[in-house]
Amino acid sequence: MTRPWSRFRPFHPAWRCRPEITLIGALIILARVLFQVAQVVVSVMKRNSPEYKDVTGDPWNGRTLEWAMSSPPPIYNFAVLPVVHDLDAFAHVKQRGRTRHAIEDYRDIHMPRNTSAGLIIGSFTLAIGFALVWHIWWLVIAGLLGVVVTLIMRSYDDDIDYTISAETVAGMDGTPTPAREFDLQEAL
Amino acid sequence: MLQKTLSLNLPGSHDDHGASNTVLGFWLYLMTDCIIFASLFAVFAVTGNQFAGGPSGKDVFELPGVMMETAILLLSSITFGFGMLAAHKGKSTALLAWLGVTFVLGAVFIALEIHELSLLIAQGYGPERSAFLSAFFTLVGTQGLHVTVGLIWMTILAVQVIGNKKVTQRDLTRLTCLSLFWHFLDIVWICVFTFVYLTSVV
């Protein structure tokens, strides 16, 4: 029972109707929670059935560029960087008609390598924040040391990026899904 | 890899992650740092005359010592500049020598600052004494903390240059960021010197 209720004796005659109204409200919220849980359960159970499968990345005929991506997106996101002419760039492209990328449109793509440094530094920072709030000074010092040491170790890491060659991109992009069947570069 | 990245740095290509972007990113960081110092200066401007019966700046500031700190920090900016000139020419020995001089100057600055602040605390004029001293300690302390971080950073870069036996493109990018940081702290200190020390004493 929430604080004001426990103080104001909920079933006193002066408070008639209020508990009932609140109950209706609570039931509506409960229904919403149940629907949300049901949605997640159905989504997971039927994730492989054809009518739920997202093959285009654009199930709702979207207007903006994020819907131009397949789902899940390729690691490099856009195979060729889109040139935007319009507020709703994807809708604009759809109106003008879709064309494939020309082979010479592809360029080498410079990619960052995955690193756990950010996660580790974030965890130490969380510890520092917690320790500062509760005045646990040894943990503050340990957390700071952890951040600095992780940063220094990361600074010695030479292998932080790689390049996907244009041919590879063309090859990966060449397996057509409906969403990739047009050219966002759009030769005017 | 980096060389290749730079040569492919065409507008609109996927390849815009070269050294210039690192430096631009560092500029953005410096601007956020600027906001921190701007707020600390604003706090000092608002509370700097709330002495709560305690001392004012006129009573506690020793201008000759502060002048010395200022001169040392300015000098360290010059020596870092010489170091960068050497770095751009690929002269790693000269670079390391100038970094060494810069480090010593920075360390002396920090030592003087710690001496000044601990003297105030020993006299009972710590940050808890008045709003003026709280604002003063926070502002000067934050700047000192930045310089200390800069010293640690400088040490690591020097060790990396020694390890590489020459100034690599990666070292140069990092040195450029550190030099921006160092000059930025110098500018902040000039503001501290002007708006905190000089205006309090005048």
pLDDT reported for residue A71: 77
Q: With helix as H, strand as E and coil as C, how does A102-165 read?
A: CHHHCCCEEEECCCCHHHHHHHHHHHHHHHHHCCCHHHHHHHHHHHHHHHHHHHCCCCCEEEEC
Bridge partner list, A163? A110
B11 touches chain A (CB under 8 A): no
Q: How far is A11 from chain B (nearest CA, A)?
A: 53
Residue with tokens 């990739």: A180
pLDDT reported for residue A66: 87
Residue B12: which region, alpha, beta or left (left: phi > 0; alpha: psi -120 to 50)?
A: left
Q: Which fold has domain B14-201?
A: Four Helix Bundle (Hemerythrin (Met), subunit A) (1.20.120)
B131-168 residues labelled b (16+ CB within 10 A) or e (exposed)? bbbbbbbbbbeebbebbbebbebbebbbebbeeeeebb
Q: How far is A56 from chain B (nearest CA, A)?
A: 24
- Mean pLDDT for B58-79 is 93
Closest A-chain CA to B163 = A156
Q: Which B-chain residues 22-51 have CB contacts (< 8 A) with chain A?
A: none
- B14–A107 CB contact, under 8 Å: yes
Q: How far is B157 from chain A (nearest CA, A)?
A: 9
B93 touches chain A (CB under 8 A): no
pLDDT of chain A, 188 residues: tens digit per residue? 556 656 666 567 776 777 788 899 999 999 999 999 999 999 899 888 888 777 778 888 888 888 888 877 888 888 888 888 888 888 888 888 766 677 777 888 888 899 999 999 999 999 999 999 999 999 999 999 999 999 999 999 888 888 988 888 888 776 544 444 444 444 33
Residue B39 tokens read as 């707020």
- B156–A152 CB contact, under 8 Å: yes
pLDDT reported for residue B118: 95
- Mean pLDDT for B46-74 is 91
- A155–B15 CB contact, under 8 Å: no
- Mean pLDDT for B30-37 is 96
What is the ipTM, given to two decimal places? 0.75
B91 vs A61: CA distance, rounded Å: 59
- B152–A148 CB contact, under 8 Å: yes
pLDDT reported for residue A174: 63
The pLDDT tens digits for B139-164 are 999 999 999 999 999 999 999 999 98
pLDDT reported for residue A105: 78
B15 touches chain A (CB under 8 A): yes
| Residue of A75, A105, A110, A159 to mutate when probing chain B, most B C-beta within 10 A | A110
pTM: 0.74
- Mean pLDDT for B170-176 is 93
B1 vs B4: CA distance, rounded Å: 5
- B56, with CB counted inside 10 A (0-12, 13-18, 19+), is middle
